[in-house]
Structure 1
Amino acid sequence: MTLPHLSDKERLEVEKKFYSHMCDMFLEMIKTMTISDKEINKRFILTNIELLSEYEAKGKSVVLMCAHYGSWEWLINIAKKINFRSIAIYKRIGNKYFDKLIRDIRSRLDAELIETKKTVELMEYNATHGIKAFYGFASDQSPQLERARYWDTFMGYEVPVYTGAEMLAKKLDMNMVFVKVRKVKRGFYEATIMPLAENVREYPDYEITSKFLREVEKQILEQPEYYFWTHKRWKHVGKKATEQTS
């Protein structure tokens, strides 16, 4: 756990709270199979829902960036609140039974799921045919090391960064937003849409991605126990120099 500003005792307390939250999260995933619209809207509130309509009125598809924080599964409920298509980008899980479970859970909230390897093809098709959508990217993941094009600092470490969301937004001229999630109490969350960039082609490469990472760091530092610490975000720490000289 990368929280050097905390004491060992404080980090241990965060760790305990994280595992408690992770258990809650799995229970929430299962609950999604039967939860009513009324109940999930009470438990997962979008604080500035009007901003979604404003982005639709701009006439461009939107890249929605988020982190593995709070309840990203319930974040997909945004699909029920928009007119554009809602498409969640996800990495296929090796266990086919668990993969099907995850797909069933997310589809229950009206979101379309697309595997990462099929993302470019689908987004280009939709752009060509005038199909507008919100594309959800959990972009705090680690890319395959051999495909890393950009490194940045994240929570005090230099790490390879996933840049696909920004590159696709630039290629297809889409607006970009960040979704900040806050856990209010057990089983209850609030999400806020935060603009990241419009006219994305005017930004230097990776600037928007770096801006996204800074927002994720702020979110983690506010309530570190709700970040998904077990997803190996720092597995390539220290390997940059080796890659560049190999």
Structure 2
Amino acid sequence: MRKKKSASWYYRPLEWLLVGIASLPLSALYAVAGVLYVLMAYVLRYRQRVVLQNLRNSFPDKTEAEIRRIGKKFYWHFAQVIVEILKLRAISETELRHRVRFTNPEVLSNLFAKKRQVLTLGSHAGNWEWILAAAALNYPGQAGGVYKPLMNPFFEDFMRRLRSRTGAHLVPMLATLRDLVQYRGTGRTLSLLTDQAAGPEDHPYWTTFLHQDTPFYTGADKLAAQLHCAAVYVGIRRVRRGYYEITFTEFHDGETSLIKGSHVLTEAFARQLERDIQASPPDYLWSHRRWKHKRNL
């Protein structure tokens, strides 16, 4: 068994700094976000070409001026999300419950009552890290999330502790199937960020998404068909700064069988996410190279 690497001692001051910043009230952290916004949008111009090209391709009917306005709003959104994610290292359960509201929590509760394993299909919209943290509070012992381990031992450890601080069960990507089999029939959820860029080696499902030929991972369809999991879309809406509403949309109840090889869940996810992005364009992660892969015709 491979021994887990530990973070080097010289990362300790960085950890103290990050924890100290996280301990600040969110009102102060949003001032920090203002500085980050200026740096990303005007000084460093962080991935500006990627952001603007993604927006142009996704909204071909918008003018260049509109595209650039959305781009600036995205940087402000992203800066806020960065400090909000860091705040998870120190936020109280009371404050997190106050800031994240589930509009229809019974969707998951009803499935858990039937001992269903639920695949919750999320995306990089809104504050995706707050969703899992808040769900762990709302559904104690029943909320888990799949993640890709980081190469740097310090940041891997720091992010694991940050993400699991409210009780979320974290599952490395390659252990997803094993985890679902292990906890089969216990009534719990496993969150998948389903909007990441799948490469040719992943044998993706291709569909038109935001006016572009787009590859999607097909894990949700495969796992739901193999293990009879339910599938629920997770939508998140920013109500105002630092406050979010989460709404669940049930795609599959897990009681009926899905046809192996079909992509009904992935297609439903793409369509629902597309509607949510069109409703609030700045709140998506446009700096990600989502369309870097092209289909081989």
Q: Relative contact order, CA 8 A, sep 6+: which one is greater?
A: 1
Aligned AA for 1:112? H
Partner of 1:74: 130
Partner of 2:116: 60
Partner of 1:156: 211
CA distance in 2, matches of 1:133, 1:140: 22
The answer to whether 1:231 aligns with 2:284 is no
CA distance in 1, matches of 2:204, 2:278: 27
SS of match in other structure, 2:257: helix
TM-score normalized by the length of structure 2: 0.76
SS of match in other structure, 1:218: helix
CA distance in 2, matches of 1:21, 1:96: 28
CA distance in 1, matches of 2:256, 2:61: 34
Unaligned runs of 5+ in 2: 1-53
SS of match in other structure, 1:33: coil
CA distance in 2, matches of 1:141, 1:9: 28
Q: 2:155 aligns with which of 98, 112, 119?
A: 98
Cα RMSD for the two superposed structures:
1.6
Partner of 1:134: 189
Aligned AA for 2:64? D
CA distance in 2, matches of 1:202, 1:239: 26
Task: Give the conservation status (yes or no) of the 8 Å contact 1:84–1:132.
Answer: no
CA distance in 2, matches of 1:95, 1:183: 31
Partner of 1:210: 267
Map 1:179-190; keep pairs closer than 5 Å.
179-190=234-245
Task: Give the conservation status (yes or no) of the 8 Å contact 1:174–1:200.
Answer: no
Q: 1:181 to 1:200 in 2, by over 3 A?
A: farther
Task: Give the conservation status (yes or no) of the 8 Å contact 1:170–1:200.
Answer: no
Aligned AA for 1:214? R
Aligned AA for 1:225? P
Aligned AA for 2:155? F
CA distance in 2, matches of 1:56, 1:123: 14
The answer to whether 1:167 aligns with 2:219 is no
**Range moving further from structure 2, 38-47 or 213-222:** 38-47
Aligned AA for 1:86? A
Larger radius of gyration: 2
Q: 1:29 aligns with which of 85, 90, 109?
A: 85
SS of match in other structure, 1:240: coil
% identity of equivalent residues: 32
Aligned AA for 2:207? D
SS of match in other structure, 2:183: helix
Spell out, residue by residue over 1:53-88, the C-alpha distance to the aligned partner (whole angstroms, 9 max, x if none): 212122211110011100111101111212552210
CA distance in 2, matches of 1:137, 1:98: 21
Spell out, residue by residue over 1:32-65, the C-alpha distance to the aligned partner (whole angstroms, 9 max, x if none): 1111111111111111122222121222111100
Structure 1 residue 98: deviation in Å?
Answer: 2.1
Structure 1 residue 200: deviation in Å?
Answer: 5.2
Structure 1 residue 203: deviation in Å?
Answer: 5.1
Aligned AA for 2:110? E
Structure 1 residue 19: deviation in Å?
Answer: 0.8
Structure 1 residue 163: deviation in Å?
Answer: 0.8
Partner of 1:244: none
Unaligned runs of 5+ in 1: 242-246
Q: 1:83 to 1:32 in 2, by over 3 A?
A: closer
CA distance in 2, matches of 1:59, 1:87: 15
Map 1:7-26; keep pairs closer than 5 Å.
7-26=63-82
